[in-house]
Amino acid sequence: MNDVPFIDFARRWVVLTGASSGIGRAIAVELARCGARVVLTGRNEQALKDTQAQLAPDTSRIVVQDLRQIDTLSALIRDHVREHGRIYGLCYCSGVVETRPLASFQASGFRDMIDVNVTASFELARAICRRDVMTEDGGALLFITSIYGTVGMPGQMAYSATKGALQSAARSLAIELARRRIRVNTLSPGLVHTPMTATAFSLLSKEQIHELESSHPLGPGEPEDVAKAAAFLLAPQSRWITGTDLVIDGGYTAR
């Protein structure tokens, strides 16, 4: 009987943004469980330490980083390679969301959302895909987007625009980077129970919450549901999957 696991990162390094809590924390745990070494990035050092405490020893390192400081991201990657070795992949799990109808749209807020949700992800991808940075036999990029990149939702015009931008960009990058055996995919979750979701729910009525939850035939998801899908798409064993957006939404978009 073959005891070799299907997913095995064999101690390859994966840079993970948004590792402080929620989906990002669950992805960190899953990647480490599947044999990856994970660069945990986020703004809150204590929260990152809490994530690291859930991982096996010698499977991660912490880098405190504000993604709005885009000009510093390339140096972050160079420093890692110099001290710890080449990088196999990127899982971009950071995101800013602000619910605003068109009537209250603010250009300044949208620019902030673009910086975190889109521009920083491109800059990190550029830095990691350098020939002297990425593992020589190729690698993988994964952007965590949202079903709101493809379906409409009142008040989410700006957020949806950024997530749709990532989905489109990933398809182009998948073609551009294929010759170097670098795969590029996106993962689009529906409603997932996270601390961010709990904060958003605190502003809604019980009826509104019920409507959101019941719109997912299998009910809301948990961070671990997204994490397992993320590990699958990033894994070296998924070598023939690129340019794909995997929707994981409990049937929301199948209605």
Distance separating alpha carbons of residues 27 and 225, to the nearest angstrom: 9
End-to-end CA distance of the chain: 41
Residue of 167, 153, 170, 162 lying closest to 215 (CA atoms): 153
The CB-side HSE value for 199 (13 A sphere, CA atoms) comes to: 7
What are the Cα distances from residue 99, in Å, to 1, 38, 160, 177?
52, 32, 10, 34
| CB-CB contact of 186 with 145 (8 Å) | yes
Maximum Cα–Cα distance for the chain, whole Å? 62
Residue of 107, 127, 167 lying closest to 17 (CA atoms): 127
Which tokens belong to 80?
């890692």
Bridge partners of residue 221, in order along the sequence: 192
Looking at the annotation, which residues are catalytic? 159
